[in-house]
Amino acid sequence: MYSLARPLLFNFDAERAHGLTLRALDVAYRSGLDALVAGRSEPLPTRVLGLDFPNPVGLAAGLDKNGAHIDALFALGFGSVEIGTVTPRAQAGNPKPRMFRLPGHEAIINRLGFNNAGVDAVVRNVERARHSTHGRAAGGGLLGINIGKNRDTPNEIAEGDYMYCLSRVYALADYVTINISSPNTAGLRELQEEQLLRRLIGILREEQERLGAKHGRRVPMLVKIAPDLSDDDIEACARVLTELEVDGVIATNTTVSRDAIEGARHAEEPGGLSGKPLMGQSTTVLRMMRTRLPEAIPLVGVGGILSGADAVTKMAAGASLVQCYSGLIYRGPELVHECVEAIRRRKFAPSRGPVPPIA
């Protein structure tokens, strides 16, 4: 069905098409037509982070920044949906246009800049969602909430923004992601530098434990990293995250590299590149982090998944869960079903020797 709608959507500006698609999904969900939008998979129970996911394929943050479409997105068959990035105060993000398709490369460039309605509005949206009262209890998909800082908050006091968001979303989230890796908020990636990272995550780990005692429930906290880290940065990042015993790592965010799309239309637009060209780079970082982190810290593989085979590649590189976003723009909701089934086949296939290296 999406293959019929895609040519029409691609006639619109990318950000406008984004909004139209979400509204259409809401209409389909409320009308009971969501089964026509995506294929259905049998559950593939996956226990990670001390949580039971109905399947290991999730939606990455960025598609539903304000948590306004949670129920419709879960209806597509995701094992988890991550909303956000959300900041303490509402902000408009960067000037438009700020999202560009590169169809020949099955890629997207965006420089949205954490545009969102603010954490209090997101909390209200989550509380209104049917998933809030029926999701986890009914064995449904799990909700992640991705948090960040406002663009005008200096890095020196960024922990205040993250602590405020963490405290507001803690009771509603199945897990929380700390976003320090978007390239679209000036200076944000500096928080991945070893000393700043140690200070920020150390403070947030203490807050996580305090909130866990207060609410009687420990909510896992993950850190989302960039694909553009140097080898030394990866070593330092892994060392800090291991010492501070974070619950998990998401690898990776979008890239500022343009090597894979050199000469393409829009290639010179600033912002984060996602989609197919990101696959190799993000998977390399994923594999490197897997060899440097203890097994107790699981990895979520995201970046460049446009097929079931791509999802399997992420799992082979060390991911326990995968997420997609840009692939949905080019493949539609059937990508979710395809990834679940490909992982199922790999999980239960008879051993055929070592997994081949990733090209």
Mean pLDDT across the stretch 117-132?
A: 94
Residue 327 has a pLDDT of: 98
Is residue 254 scored above 80 in pLDDT?
yes
Query: How far is it, in rounded angstroms, from Cα 357 to Cα 116?
Result: 40
Is residue 349 scored above 70 in pLDDT?
no
**Which DSSP letter does residue 312 get?**
H
Residue 192 has a pLDDT of: 98
Query: How far is it, in rounded angstroms, from Cα 320 to Cα 322?
Result: 7
Is residue 51 scored above 80 in pLDDT?
yes
Question: Among candidates 172, 23, 190, which has minimal Cα distance to 83?
Answer: 172
Going along the chain from its start, the domains and CATH numbers come out as 2-347 (3.20.20.70)
**Distance in angstroms between the alpha carbons of the first and the last residue of the chain:** 33
Is residue 356 scored above 90 in pLDDT?
no
Q: Indicate which residues carry an active-site annotation.
A: 182
Is residue 357 scored above 50 in pLDDT?
no
Close Cβ partners of 350 (under 8 Å, ≥ 6 residues apart): none
Query: How far is it, in rounded angstroms, from Cα 150 to Cα 128?
Result: 25
Mean pLDDT across the stretch 57-70?
A: 98
Is residue 258 scored above 60 in pLDDT?
yes
Residue 131 has a pLDDT of: 82
Residue 352 has a pLDDT of: 40
Q: Which of the four pLDDT bands, split at 50, 70 and 90, describes residue 41? A: confident
CB 317 within 8 Å of CB 283:
yes
Mean pLDDT across the stretch 240-248?
A: 98
CB 306 within 8 Å of CB 135:
no
Q: Where are the alpha helices (DSSP H) in the chain?
A: 2-9, 14-30, 70-74, 119-128, 130-134, 158-169, 194-215, 231-243, 279-292, 308-316, 326-331, 334-348
Q: Which of the four pLDDT bands, split at 50, 70 and 90, describes residue 7? A: very high
Q: Which of 128-137, 196-205, 266-275, 291-300 has the lowest mean pLDDT?
A: 128-137
Residue with tokens 């997609």: 324
CA separation, residue 90 to residues 119, 152, 161, 352 (Å): 8, 12, 12, 52
Question: Among candidates 313, 296, 309, which has minimal Cα distance to 338?
Answer: 309
Please state the three-class secondary structure of 331-354 as a single string.
Answer: HCCHHHHHHHHHHHHHHHCCCCCC
Handedness of CA 154, 158, 162, 167 (dihedral sign): negative
Using DSSP's 3-state secondary structure scheme, residue 108 falls into strand
Handedness of CA 238, 239, 242, 245 (dihedral sign): negative
HSE on the CB side for 18, CA within 13 Å?
A: 17
CA separation, residue 244 to residues 61, 203, 247, 248, 288 (Å): 24, 10, 9, 11, 19
Is residue 33 scored above 90 in pLDDT?
no
Give the pLDDT confidence of 83-104 residue by residue, as tens digits.
999 999 999 999 999 999 999 9
Q: Which of the four pLDDT bands, split at 50, 70 and 90, describes residue 358? A: very low
Is residue 354 scored above 50 in pLDDT?
no
What size, in residues, is the chain? 359
Is residue 351 scored above 50 in pLDDT?
no
Amino acid at 219: V
When the pLDDT of each residue in the chain is averaged and rounded to a whole number, the result is 94
CA separation, residue 309 to residues 9, 237, 279, 348 (Å): 26, 29, 12, 15
Using DSSP's 3-state secondary structure scheme, residue 38 falls into coil
Q: Which of the four pLDDT bands, split at 50, 70 and 90, describes residue 246? A: very high
Give the pLDDT confidence of 165-179 residue by residue, as tens digits.
999 999 999 999 999
Residue 35 has a pLDDT of: 59
> What is the full DSSP assignment across 158-181?
HHHHHHHHHHHHTTT-SEEEEE--
Residue 155 has a pLDDT of: 97
Most confident of 39-48, 138-147, 221-230: 221-230
Query: pTM of this prediction?
Result: 0.95
